[in-house]
Amino acid sequence: MTTSRHDPASDPSAHVQLRPDLGTLPAYVPGKSWPGALKLASNETSPGPLPSVVGAIAAAAQGVNRYPDNGSIAVREALAERLGVAAEQVAVGCGSVSLCQQLVLATCSPGDEVLFAWRSFEAYPLVTLVAGAVPVRVPLGPGQVHDLDAMLAAITERTRLVMVCNPNNPTGTAVGRRELERFLDAVPSTVLVVLDEAYIEYLRAEDFGAGDLPDGVALGRGRANLLVLRTFSKAYGLAGLRIGYAVGSPEVIATVSKVYIPFSVNSLAQAAALASLDVEAELLERTDAVVAERGRVRDALLAAGYTVPETHANFVWLDLGANAAEFSTRCAEAGVLVRPFAGEGVRVTIGDAYENDQFLAFALSDVATGLARQ
Ligand SMILES: *Cc1c(COP(=O)(O)O)cnc(C)c1O
């Protein structure tokens, strides 16, 4: 057989045709490994799963020759009962991050806009671009808090989705119920608002005015254009198993479910989520220790001269400007991994008292406070 010069099958230099717009997306870069370092970089819970949850995972492992329940029926029914909604109002996803991507796919045609604050959760621009939509970033207001009026003003006829991360990752700041309500009343009812409540379990009523504690599920009653995202990855301690959920109107939930990757919430994750709901009280009690520690850590940082916004989550944000990357590298050399955002700041997860002390030992050192002051 003769092959012509123009037969692409025989041209070793020919490239596969890929989506050109993905060329500008950053490729995944594995983090540098620091053997033995404490990990305060990903907002995980420090204690491992409770024994009953480990038992449920082990029992479910016996059945992994079978496909998982594609509808995650048992988990959705258990969540619906707890939240006082119908099971048709709950969707389960492979982490709430995959629900974020499903939401963009379910609402946006190419060129439609997804609006969110910046800085906020790093996944928002990525899932937006992957779905062929256009990210629109609205700067956070004073004190690194969501500027909801500016977000309202940024809504156009191309806006399909508005993401509000409350408390906000990575700054830890939160807006109260009344402000959210005012915002939701003003957003056109044709635009879907997603309230990402990955850290809601770390909110405390005493940090808000009377009746001002935000709760997306309560706010969503009677509002078909509000959808709430929550996760088992943070307070429930199942980050490694990948399971999160959405609560919204039956119509939105049904459409979001159409772009679900079949069977992507595995059977171990479903079993672990159910077992975690059974011991919910004990898991939520563990957040009290984190809340106490975050106050202690923030106070120590403020006293040392750092700028740290009031945090309502299981992490603190240190405003370090140009020194963020160096702070993070020095901290890793001192044995503690934190999450840098080059040119802006670092996010530090609140761990247990020992872990936090290790971090503070570095943060209060002359090297570190020098970087904070520059
Ligand atoms: C951690 C986090 C999530 C949860 O992600 P999973 O995919 O459920 O692990 C969602 N939103 C924000 C803002 C987060 O920080």
Closest-lying ligand 1 atom to the alpha carbon of residue 99: 7
Q: For 117-161, how does the pLDDT look when each residue is reduced to its tens digit (9 = 90+)?
A: 999 999 999 999 999 999 999 999 999 999 999 999 999 999 999
| pLDDT at residue 366, rounded to an integer | 96
Q: With bands split at pLDDT 50, 70 and 90, how would you rate the model's confidence at 39?
A: very high
Q: Copy the structure tokens of residue 2.
A: 């003769």
Q: For 275-334, how does the pLDDT look when each residue is reduced to its tens digit (9 = 90+)?
A: 999 999 999 999 999 999 999 999 999 999 999 999 999 999 999 999 999 999 999 999
Q: Using CA atoms, how far apart are residues 143 and 241, in angstroms rounded to an integer? A: 34
pLDDT of 260 > 70? The answer is yes
* 95 Cβ inside 6 Å of ligand 1: yes
- Using a cut of 0.85, tell me whether the model's pTM lies above it: yes
Measured in Å, residue 169 CA sits from the centre of ligand 1 at 9
Q: Residue 352 in contact with residue 363, Cβ under 8 Å?
A: no
Q: With bands split at pLDDT 50, 70 and 90, how would you rate the model's confidence at 11?
A: confident
Q: With bands split at pLDDT 50, 70 and 90, how would you rate the model's confidence at 28?
A: confident
Closest-lying ligand 1 atom to the alpha carbon of residue 234: 1
CATH class of 51-278: alpha beta
- The domain locations on the chain are 29-48+281-373, 51-278
The residue nearest atom 1 of ligand 1, judged by CA position, is 198
Architecture of the domain made up of 29-48+281-373: Alpha-Beta Complex (3.90)
Amino acid at position 271, single letter: A
Q: Using CA atoms, how far apart are residues 116 and 70, in angstroms rounded to an integer? A: 31
Q: Cβ–Cβ contacts within 10 Å for residue 350, how many?
A: 29
Tell me 256's DSSP state. Answer: H
Q: Using CA atoms, how far apart are residues 90 and 88, in angstroms rounded to an integer? A: 6
- The closest alpha carbon to 151, from 117, 123, 122, 125, belongs to 117
